[in-house]
Structure 1
Amino acid sequence: MATSAIKKTEEQYVLQMKGITKSFAGIPALRGVDFGLRGGEVHALLGANGAGKSTLMKILAGAYEYDEGTMLLNGGGVRHKSPADAKRLGIHCVYQEVDASLVPQLTVAENVMLDAIGASDGKAWISPRRQAQEAEQILASLQVDIPVKRKVVDLTIAEKQMVLLARIVRQDAKVIIFDEPTAPLSGSEADTFFRILSELRHRGTACVFITHRLPEVMEHADYVTVMRDGTKVHSGPVGALSMEELVAQMLGKSFAEEFPKVPAELGDIVLSVNGLRQGRKVKGVDLTVRSGQIVAVVGLVGAGKTEIARMLAGADRPDGGEICMGGRRMLFKQPADAIAAGIVSVPEERRKQGIVMEESVERNISLPLLNRISRFSFISGNRERSLAERIISSLGIKTASAKLPVKYLSGGNQQKVAIGKWLEKEADIILFDEPTKGVDIGAKSDIFRIIGQLAAAGKGVLYLTSELDEGLGIGDVIAVLYDGRIAAVLPRSEATMEKIMYFASGGREENL
């Protein structure tokens, strides 16, 4: 813990949220949540995906309005209705995608002074020289050395983050919300960020720190709040709970949900990955998959799962490492190379990459197999229809007709189409990247059944997910990903939700 946290009193709060309730389409997202911040405090906000922390912070930042509750700033009631209102009150947000908050073709000085320039409305012109002087002073006060005449487009992610912070500091921010700020940063860049965070603390700024990285919480936060299922389940000084106890608070109870598992006989290694690297997201990943085996790669958002999936599917090129199939090193320049080698993929963004939304169910299913159902470059309607009917029946795809455009199907049935198009392709490995994203519970159960059947048929399955319980439920082996590296590989018999969450949050084997 960075500093000793003092017991909070009503008088010490800069900001209070009391009994905050929010529903979307009648479904509760927040249930009477209390949350408070003191000046000069780094307050970590933790919770599994869907716990409600992002909704709470979007209300604080003015992006959402709450249904019930009270918000106080310096003891006075406030109800801001937009991010602009929140900023005027001194409440700012630094998102992981900092580019969205900066103007890349403007200089550092212009970006730091952007709000002042916009506020002048032409009535109080600020000269370029004065812009540069003020920007230099603010950056120097944060001990940041970035030439103010450089264009933002030429900066690193870390430098852009510092520019945005300088702009916020200039506006005398009372509260700053940091949403996964270290996810895109290298180790040295993260150190720079935490130095700035410490400076903000000394200035008296209240900082909310949303992260999945528990070691950072233990080292740099003063106070921690844990959310689960739209409620606050714990709030207190960081030193009051161990990392393992925080994990238990996030989970709530031991994992007990049963997933359908079809016994499968394991065969030879069909895929081996050694030292796979790409930029800052993937930092040397080793994996092996056998025929008949489901290997679940689980990690929290930003851990590098999708980047791994895209490299294995041939969509992106790795910077280093090797991909081997059948003992032969493979080089994929495009997805067609991976498909030809025997790797097919069901991507996370199914509507953009997995299916053709305007085409029919029938045509989507037949696309990978056009050579089989065509003769002299003409598609056989009978063969295409027969293929589609087999897949629709096998997967239980609910559609009024095979001719119906896939855009009219539910999310779960769209996902079944994205899976079904590969069922009769001669593939050794099937990659699933967040396959249950946006599907209902019934379709989710169907997808697990289908994946189990694929493994039973001798396919090697690589299942990448941020839903840790799914990984535990479906995997024969669970590889836990943290910060672009495999933190632990756990056989199903040894894996627990507590262990998975521990390693996914940065815990180390030697500390267990």
Structure 2
Amino acid sequence: MKRISISFPGVKALTDVDFRTTAGTAHALIGANGAGKSTLMKILSGAYNHYEGEIWMNGDKVDIRSPKEAKDLGIQIVYQEVDTALIPNLTVGENIMLDRTVHDMGKRQLIRWKELHQEAESILARMNIQVPSRKLVSELTLAEKQMVLIARAVSKQCRILVLDEPTAPLSHSETEQLFKLVIKLKQDGVGIIFISHRLPELYAICDDITIMRDGLLVKSDRITNIDQPKVVEYMLGSKMEQQFPHAKRDIGDVWFEVKNMQDPGKINDVNLHIRQGEIVGLAGLVGAGKTELCRAIFGASETSTGEITLKGKKLRIRSPYDAVSHGIALVPEERRRQGVFVDEPVSVNVTAAVLSRFSKWGTWLNFGKEKQAAREIIESLGVKTPNERARVKNLSGGNQQKVAIGKWLLVDADVYIFDEPTKGVDVGAKRDIFRLVAELAERGKCVLYASSELSEIVGITDRVYVMYDGRIAKELTTRTSNEEEILLYCTGGGLT
């Protein structure tokens, strides 16, 4: 890719970027949120057609202006937000074979369903993915959806495979399985472009690295020639500061309690409590039940039962509306589907939960006040956006996450639940989120911080509940524990 530039309304996303990769290698593409790496790959995969510059393959200049043209050249991309790329009311097999089915429908009107599922099952078996071909995608976990997307990408002749944050929703074992697949694809001569914010993963699997910042190419080299602190420095344009804030907080009495929380097949008899001003971690591997517990507390599950108490008062929570009314806020894991209105401006998103504050007589919206509040949130969280009118879908993943969090800051809740808040977020944005979480606790809020990133659990929390198979396996005091002990209980070790 030579001298690639592209602009969006109010944003120059890329400026004269060069990118080169080689067949049979894994190439890390890294940069802070908003650096332009996903935009560059969307150009390569045909999602954006109004770019300037040239694309060459095997010495031949090619014109890629649509996803079909990219796929015809053997370029496949697996996006970070899996729910926007899969059709939930179709089966796994139908999703895997979707491109071929649509293409074949131009030749014949009948689909041979038995053959379709047999071929899909063969692809899944070759990749060692334990998901039934006839199961609906809507019934899959986030990790299973990710693996189905990768299966679809490699089901056709693939010369270049772009993986955008592929390990974000995966457990350790699933990540290892993905890496085995990447190694096999490299051996088959496929070029892998690997976008990730998890530096240890990049050093484990990648041969080359390209670093971007603010829409520009900053550095490209063999990955063994650049150490991790230097990569962070290139990404941020300055040396990395202390990641986790260490402010001393006054932790009060127990404010928030959950007793006997149940959700059939998901969580079983969960009990936990949070003191005023305390950050409590909820640790566990993918599938342990962290997200399900967060949703149950927030009233987002119709099948959950249990007792929730705040400041000594028993709450009746049957819906998210009830939860918000009682001062409970949730920043969900799947931000694009559950956390933000992607087609609406930033201002609409950050004021959505408190519209009454900006309305007169409950009818007329005061746009001036709404705009001012949005600007304050943008400034305090460091959201990279041209203005408060920019649509959220045009922001990077990390900035979308900041908008999802900013919405709840205006609510001024008593309990803040964060479910994988740093997923797909760069090191600079992570630092901002950690600072925000610490500030909420300093203001006397109760914080429940759910994450499969054990370094974050150790770095930011006061106590931690470890989940395994839908239950609380262990309660630990963070300062007297470590990642190894937490991981032991995450994997079912130490249980009797």
What TM-score do the two structures reach when normalised by structure 1? 0.60
In the other structure, the counterpart of 1:29 is: 13
CA distance in 2, matches of 1:418, 1:346: 16
CA distance in 2, matches of 1:157, 1:463: 19
8 Å Cα contact 2:18/2:217 also seen in 1:
yes
Q: Deviations over 1:102-159 (max 9, x none)?
A: 4444444444333233222353566444434443444444344554444544444444
CA distance in 2, matches of 1:144, 1:405: 51
Q: Deviations over 1:361-412 (max 9, x none)?
A: 334xx77xxxxxxxxxxxxxxxxxxxxxxxxxxxxxxxxxxx7525x55864
CA distance in 1, matches of 2:12, 2:381: 24
Alignment of 1:362 with 2:321, yes or no, is no
**How far 1:470 moved relative to its partner?**
4.0
Closer, same or farther: CA 318–217 of 1 in aligned 2, 3 Å = farther
In the other structure, the counterpart of 1:89 is: 73
8 Å Cα contact 2:262/2:306 also seen in 1:
yes
CA distance in 2, matches of 1:338, 1:148: 37
Between 1:161-170 and 1:348-357, the stretch displaced more is 348-357
8 Å Cα contact 2:258/2:306 also seen in 1:
yes
- When the two chains are superposed, the root-mean-square deviation of aligned CA atoms in Å is 5.4
Gaps of 5+ in 2: 242-246, 333-338, 342-347, 389-398, 400-407, 423-428, 462-481, 486-496
Closer, same or farther: CA 336–404 of 1 in aligned 2, 3 Å = closer
8 Å Cα contact 1:21/1:68 also seen in 2:
yes
In the other structure, the counterpart of 2:82 is: 98
Closer, same or farther: CA 222–414 of 1 in aligned 2, 3 Å = same
In the other structure, the counterpart of 2:176 is: 191
**How far 1:35 moved relative to its partner?**
0.9
CA distance in 2, matches of 1:277, 1:251: 44
In the other structure, the counterpart of 2:365 is: 405
Closer, same or farther: CA 149–246 of 1 in aligned 2, 3 Å = same
In the other structure, the counterpart of 2:166 is: 181
**How far 1:196 moved relative to its partner?**
1.6
Could you tell me which of 100, 104, 107 is aligned with 1:116? 100
CA distance in 1, matches of 2:46, 2:99: 18
The amino acid that maps onto 1:54 is S
**How far 1:434 moved relative to its partner?**
6.6
In the other structure, the counterpart of 1:131 is: 116
Closer, same or farther: CA 439–49 of 1 in aligned 2, 3 Å = same
CA distance in 1, matches of 2:177, 2:387: 42
8 Å Cα contact 1:45/1:53 also seen in 2:
yes
Closer, same or farther: CA 202–318 of 1 in aligned 2, 3 Å = farther
**How far 1:166 moved relative to its partner?**
3.5
CA distance in 2, matches of 1:434, 1:158: 29
8 Å Cα contact 2:95/2:152 also seen in 1:
yes
**How far 1:219 moved relative to its partner?**
1.2
Between 1:169-178 and 1:341-350, the stretch displaced more is 341-350
Alignment of 1:62 with 2:46, yes or no, is yes
8 Å Cα contact 1:226/1:234 also seen in 2:
yes
What does residue range 454-469 of structure 1 map to in structure 2 within 5 Å?
A: 467-468=429-430
Q: Deviations over 1:195-228 (max 9, x none)?
A: 2222211111111111121221121222221111
In the other structure, the counterpart of 2:25 is: 41
In the other structure, the counterpart of 2:3 is: 19
In the other structure, the counterpart of 1:415 is: 374
Q: Deviations over 1:139-188 (max 9, x none)?
A: 44434455444454444444444443333333211111111112222222
The alignment partner of 1:50 has SS state of coil
Closer, same or farther: CA 151–24 of 1 in aligned 2, 3 Å = closer
Between 1:90-99 and 1:347-356, the stretch displaced more is 347-356
The alignment partner of 2:35 has SS state of coil
Between 1:244-253 and 1:313-322, the stretch displaced more is 313-322
**How far 1:193 moved relative to its partner?**
1.8
Closer, same or farther: CA 123–436 of 1 in aligned 2, 3 Å = closer
Between 1:139-148 and 1:181-190, the stretch displaced more is 139-148
8 Å Cα contact 2:29/2:196 also seen in 1:
yes
In the other structure, the counterpart of 1:246 is: 231
CA distance in 2, matches of 1:233, 1:490: 31
8 Å Cα contact 2:253/2:275 also seen in 1:
yes
**How far 1:332 moved relative to its partner?**
5.2
What TM-score do the two structures reach when normalised by structure 2? 0.62
CA distance in 1, matches of 2:149, 2:330: 37
**How far 1:230 moved relative to its partner?**
1.0
Could you tell me which of 57, 60, 77 is aligned with 1:76? 60
What does residue range 2-401 of structure 1 map to in structure 2 within 5 Å?
A: 17-25=1-9, 27-65=11-49, 67-123=51-107, 127-144=112-129, 146-254=131-239, 268=252, 333-334=318-319, 349=340, 351=348, 354-355=351-352, 361-363=358-360
CA distance in 1, matches of 2:251, 2:138: 50
Closer, same or farther: CA 337–30 of 1 in aligned 2, 3 Å = same
Q: Sequence identity, in percent?
A: 35
In the other structure, the counterpart of 2:469 is: none
**How far 1:253 moved relative to its partner?**
1.0
8 Å Cα contact 1:224/1:237 also seen in 2:
yes
Closer, same or farther: CA 320–208 of 1 in aligned 2, 3 Å = farther
The amino acid that maps onto 2:165 is E
CA distance in 2, matches of 1:320, 1:176: 44
The alignment partner of 1:167 has SS state of helix
CA distance in 2, matches of 1:69, 1:332: 55
Closer, same or farther: CA 61–362 of 1 in aligned 2, 3 Å = same
Closer, same or farther: CA 254–106 of 1 in aligned 2, 3 Å = closer
**How far 1:58 moved relative to its partner?**
1.1
Closer, same or farther: CA 472–150 of 1 in aligned 2, 3 Å = closer
Gaps of 5+ in 1: 1-16, 257-262, 368-402, 420-432, 445-450, 492-506
Closer, same or farther: CA 354–48 of 1 in aligned 2, 3 Å = same
CA distance in 2, matches of 1:472, 1:110: 41
May I ask how many residue pairs the two structures share in their alignment?
Answer: 405
The amino acid that maps onto 1:405 is L
The amino acid that maps onto 1:224 is I
Closer, same or farther: CA 268–147 of 1 in aligned 2, 3 Å = closer
In the other structure, the counterpart of 1:370 is: none
CA distance in 2, matches of 1:345, 1:147: 32
CA distance in 2, matches of 1:230, 1:296: 37
The amino acid that maps onto 2:79 is Y
CA distance in 2, matches of 1:181, 1:115: 21
